[in-house]
Each structure stands twice: as C-alpha cells, then as structure tokens.
Amino acid sequence: MNMFLFKEKIKVFKTKAKEANGRDVTFDDGMLFIDCRECAGASMLGNAECVKCVSENIADRGQPSRLLMRKENDIEYSDVVISMLTEISKISSLMRTASSEKLAAGCKGCQCSLPNNARQIWDSFPEPRFDILRLETERSSPGKEGCEECMWKTIGFIDRAETLFSELKKRCAKTAFRLTEV
C-alpha cells in the first residue's frame, strides 16, 4: 500500500472535536480522550455531570473502546464502564432529540410539552422524579386544541423514559455486583 493512502486512512480515525462544554475532546483510533483540566467538575464517573458529559460525547462521536479523562491524574476506563456509558448515551440522545422538538409559540412554556419534560428529565439525571413530572403534566393541560393529545404524548414519553432509566439502573446494579463479587 502506498504511504499516501495509508496516511489518508489514518485521518479517517483521528477527529479533533470542537470543544464540548469547555473541554477538548478527541476521538482517536477507538479512544475517547476528554481533557477535563479546565472543568470545575469532579472529572470522574462518580459524578452525575461527568457521566452526562461523557455520555453526550459518546452519543455525538460513537462508542469508544477506551476512555481517558484527564485532570490532575488521568483516569482510564474500558469495556464494562464504556458499555454502561453507551447505554446512558442512548438515553442522552433520546432526551436531547426530544428536547429540541419544534413547538408552536403558545406551547413553549407549557408543562405538557415534550421538550420541556425531556429537558427536566435529563437535567435531573440520574434521579428524575417521573411521578412528579407525570402529575404536573396531567394537571397543567390548558385545554386548547391539541393540548390533550400533546399531554398524552408527553406522558407516554415520561413512561418510556422511566422504563429506560429503570432498566439501566438494574443493569448497572448487576454489573456493579459482578465487579465486586469475589
């Protein structure tokens, strides 16, 4: 293979991302590298904001085989953790897609709207209060044309999101148990 073609193939695997939440992010040959030195957060996966940041980067760039988070000390994650983060990234992608849904002008501030609820669910990660969101949605329907349909669509979305979060928690618990089991 000629050297020029080889260099072109390497470029396919190396992508320097725009800054994500003030962090430099690189996806290079299966490694997702996030430079967290400028971030005020914990920069570890025990922190909900860090999990959200990493999962959003996976949703945007694809599943890595390895993950490296750089702060004072580099922390590298692989396999099982990345599998969990990929599941969270699917939820992240769903929430971000739903929260960017176009609304009529009169619906933007409505509690019944799917985008408002999707934002609230993702903002309250990892412990969204689905019961409260569902109740507030049911109570806030102003009764205009299309509101009831929108309300039921939103409640269906809340129910689906609750199922996704519940399944993820069960999978994380099983994985954590296996990791600590001796």
Residue 9 has pLDDT above 80, yes or no: no
Counted residue by residue, the chain has a size of 182
What percentage of residues in the chain have a pLDDT greater than 70?
82
Q: What is the pLDDT of residue 17?
A: 41
Q: State the average pLDDT over residues 132-141.
A: 87
The two three-digit tokens of residue 54, written as one number: 């990493």
Domain assignment present for residue 118? The answer is yes
Model confidence pLDDT, tens digit, residues 58-88 = 999 989 999 998 888 888 887 888 988 999 9
Q: What is the DSSP string of 62-108?
A: ---SEEEEESSS-EEEEHHHHHHHHHHHHHHHHHHHHHT----GGGT
Token pair 């996966």: residue: 45
Q: Is residue 108 located within the same domain as residue 150?
A: yes
Q: Is residue 30 located within the same domain as residue 107?
A: no
Q: Is residue 107 located within the same domain as residue 180?
A: yes
Residue type, 155: I
Q: Is residue 106 located within the same domain as residue 180?
A: yes
| Residue 23 DSSP symbol | B
Domain assignment present for residue 182? The answer is yes
Domains identified in the chain, total number: 2
HSE of 110, CA atoms in CB hemisphere, 13 A: 23
For residue 129, what are the domain limits?
Answer: 101-182
Q: What is the pLDDT of residue 105?
A: 77
Q: Is residue 67 located within the same domain as residue 108?
A: no
Q: State the average pLDDT over residues 101-108.
A: 81
Q: What is the pLDDT of residue 74?
A: 87
